């Protein structure tokens, strides 16, 4: 039986996220309406439920347990896919104050004739958005991987899996890693799509 995820407002008018098992979306909707919920919005349907069956709901990352909850699924629902431009823009917005200070200090140093010091401060300005891109890189590449899989571009999927595994190994000690099971599943799907079943 599929598990549907809905956002709604309960009897008290509070926004809630509910995961409910039902035979169909209309059955799940009727159950929530019977509880007095309003403003229902379906976040995960039958297809989403089936697609997520093989995905671990909890996994260990750097000694911490990370859980994929209905609330987290609802939060990212509808968000645009991560891109290099969006990551760069977020980095600029998040570090706008620091960037302005660095630019101001660089300007002062140039005006005082300290070109090398001013140049060093200028170098730091693009480093902040670049770090943001580095942080978002797994999300960006995962979005590309899923798009390639949707279009059955299996060689591209395998290439992206290798890159993501390298990032996962490099970051494992310092930052949350990608679930190995997800990358293994994508690799197996790509190998099967290429007819290399013995390697899948």
What whole-number percentage of the chain has pLDDT above 70? 91
Q: Which residues contact 33 (CB under 8 A, 6 or more apart)?
A: 40
Which residue, among 51, 81, 89, 186, has the nearest Cα to 143 in the 3D structure? 81
The residue ranges of every structural domain in the chain are 1-79, 81-91+126-199
What whole-number percentage of the chain has pLDDT above 90? 34
Angstrom distance (rounded) from CA 105 to CA 66: 41
Strands (E), 28-179: 38-44, 58-61, 64-67
Structure tokens at 125: 């300005």
What are residue 55's phi and psi, to 5 degrees? -90, 130
- Dihedral of the CA atoms 88, 44, 30, 41 (nearest 10)? 10
pTM above 0.75, yes or no: no
- What is the mean pLDDT of the segment spanning 48-53? 71
Which residue, among 61, 64, 10, 3, has the nearest Cα to 32 in the 3D structure? 10
Higher pLDDT, 86 or 77: 86
- Are 136 and 82 in contact by the 8 Å Cβ rule? The answer is yes
Structure tokens at 146: 């899923």
120-151 residue pLDDT tens: 999 999 998 898 888 888 888 988 998 898 89
């Amino acid at each position: 039986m599929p598990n549907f995820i809905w956002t709604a407002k309960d009897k008290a008018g509070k926004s809630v996220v509910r995961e409910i098992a039902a035979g169909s979306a209309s059955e799940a909707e009727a159950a929530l309406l019977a509880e007095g919920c309003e403003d229902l919005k379906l976040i995960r349907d039958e297809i989403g439920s089936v697609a997520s069956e093989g995905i671990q709901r909890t996994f260990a990352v750097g000694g911490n347990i990370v859980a994929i909850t209905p609330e987290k699924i609802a939060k990212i629902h509808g968000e645009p896919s991560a891109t290099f431009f969006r990551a760069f823009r977020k980095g600029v917005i998040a570090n706008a104050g620091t960037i302005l200070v660095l630019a101001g200090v660089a300007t002062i140093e140039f005006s005082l004739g300290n070109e090398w010091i001013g140049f060093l401060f200028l170098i730091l300005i693009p480093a902040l958005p670049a770090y943001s891109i580095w942080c978002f890189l797994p999300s960006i590449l995962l979005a590309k991987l899923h798009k390639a899989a949707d279009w059955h571009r299996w060689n591209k999927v395998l290439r992206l899996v290798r890159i993501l595994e390298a990032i996962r190994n490099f970051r494992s000690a310092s930052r949350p890693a990608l679930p190995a099971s997800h990358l293994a599943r994508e690799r197996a799907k790509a190998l099967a799509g290429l007819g290399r079943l013995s390697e899948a």
